[in-house]
Amino acid sequence: GDSVTQMEGPVTLSEEAFLTINCTYTATGYPSLFWYVQYPGEGLQLLLKATKADDKGSNKGFEATYRKETTSFHLEKGSVQVSDSAVYFCALLNQAGTALIFGKGTTLSVSS
Amino acid sequence: NAGVTQTPKFQVLKTGQSMTLQCAQDMNHEYMSWYRQDPGMGLRLIHYSVGAGITDQGEVPNGYNVSRSTTEDFPLRLLSAAPSQTSVYFCASLPSRPPGELFFGEGSRLTVL
């Protein structure tokens, strides 16, 4: 079945460091891909998405490019801030388009 | 603009008790789903629904029942609670277009003693 694999955390960075969180997927066809973020004590919210191969999703300085050759959707940010500390989830839309399948999440901690 | 409303926010149960987590959405979304979130396990899909009267199992359906009598409501039932069901539960709704932007409820923290 469909699945998402994320790099294990926690990821600990200093402010202004470069961030990469790896995400790969297994699915039939080319599913839409997403990154969701969960700030401490809150629910999940959509960070960015890409619906077809080679699309780049971007939001709040974060970017991710849909790579069908490597079945990957890695999240990057050039300069992280303390306020970026959160749990990041990679997800794919199932083939029927009716539900999302999530990875296990990666905790990011940024210190000043 | 309520979005997705879940109740209760917190609940403590004893093993073997039953309860229902309520979920309602006012966005006329076709698809709704229930997830549980556990440390180190991410969000796992329990059940989902593609419309009134139609439900299907997700990754971890055992011990849970759902029904979808209206577009708006999608309750999750625990018939005989077990400590392994201690978790945070999220209800979500999903429009058919644009694809994939889930709207989450605020979550329900359930503890089974």
pLDDT in tens, A60-104: 999 999 999 999 999 999 999 999 999 999 999 988 888 899 999
Q: Say yes or no for a CB contact (<8 Å) between B43 and A44.
A: yes
CA–CA distance, A57 with B88 (Å, rounded to integer): 29
Interface test with B, best of A44, A51, A92 (most B CBs within 10 A): A44
pLDDT tens string A44-62: 899 999 999 999 999 999 9
Residue B55: half-sphere exposure toward Cβ, Cα within 13 Å: 22
pLDDT of the residue at A9: 84
Beta bridge partners of B45: B35
User: Residue-wise over A29-44: b if at least 16 C-beta within 10 A, else e?
Assistant: eebbbbbbbbeeeebb
Q: Which of A51, A89, A104 sits opposite B99 (nearest CB)?
A: A51
pLDDT at B1 > cutoff 70: no
pLDDT of the residue at B82: 97
Residue B40: other Cβ atoms inside 10 A: 9
Using a CB-CB distance cutoff of 8 angstroms, which residues of chain B are in contact with residue A36? 102
Mean pLDDT of B20-45: 93
